[in-house]
Structure formats: C-alpha cells, structure tokens
Amino acid sequence: MTQVTERDQQAVLRFIERFAAAFAESGMPRMPARVFVALLADDGGTMTAAELAELLQVSPAAISGAVRYLTQVNVVSRERESGSRRDVFRVYDDVWYEAIFRRDQMLARWGGPLREGIGVLGEQTPAGRRIAETLAFFEFVHEELPSLLDRWRAHRDKLFNS
C-alpha cells in the first residue's frame, strides 16, 4: 500500500471531527469517538497519548479516559512501545470484524438471563413476549453472524488482496 507523506492537516482534522460526530450521534461518547477516528485516520493505526492529545488539542486526562473506554469495548488495544516505557494505542485493520465478532459473543451470553426473564415475566404476558422476541432476535443474529463474517472475509480478500 502506498504511504502518503503529505496531507492537508486541517482537512484531516475536519474529517476526524465529522466522522467522530457521527459516532457520537450513534451513542459513542464524544472523546472516545474522536480518539477512535484519529487512530483510524493514522496510516500506522497507532499513536501515543501525547500524539493524540496534541492532534486533538485536548488534555492527556481526556485521552486516558477515552482509551480506557475504547479498550473496554475492544476496538483499541494498549501496547508497550518497543524499547520504551511509553504506551501506544492501536486500532487494527480488521477492527470492524473483531468488534462484530465480540458482539456476537455478548449476544450469546445474554441468552440465559433472557430465558430467565421470560420465566419470571410469564411467556404469555406483553413483557414476556417482548423478552421472548428479543431472545429470538439475538439467537437468530448469533446463528447467522458466523456465515456473514465468513462472507465478509471473502469479500474483503477480493477487494483488497487482488
């Protein structure tokens, strides 16, 4: 892949802010959204806290809270910079695949509590039916997701490895 050496830094920052705003409108907290998009927009997909703070013009504390959130939701990893005591934060190229895969695991864990909820609320009550429909939806998605992810990998390979 070609490395871009010069970019309009203001245009990059505008992109980061616009895409982060879209994430924020979808429910992601604003600062984690900004940090996530900044990492996505970095050619290496890695930056230190100091680099992120400088780019986004925020405090190191804001970066710390944002990366804590992003690591908890498994879209960014914290790694030790080789030969240094500094941490770098990394977003992987297959971040969306991994995020969806982890969500699938979460859906599977929700089955037990949902079944319990159906029993507690009563299968024939309006609340029980809503919980049963929720469970059926999650089971359907859990069943279908592996084939969808496999098809994505094949599609991605055709698009980017040919």
pTM for the complete prediction?
Answer: 0.78
| pLDDT in the model for residue 2 | 42
| pLDDT in the model for residue 80 | 85
Packed helices 9-25 and 30-40: angle between N→C axes, nearest 10 degrees: 130
Closest CA to 20 of 9, 5, 8, 30: 30
Q: How far apart are CA 111 and CA 45, in angstroms?
A: 35
pLDDT per residue over 123-162, tens digit each? 999 999 999 999 999 999 989 998 999 999 999 999 988 7
Q: How far apart are CA 122 and CA 117, in angstroms?
A: 8
CB 48 within 8 A of CB 88: yes
pLDDT per residue over 18-41, tens digit each? 999 999 999 999 999 999 999 999
pLDDT per residue over 41-54, tens digit each? 999 999 999 999 99
Q: Characterize the bridge pairing of strands 46-48 and 77-80.
A: unpaired
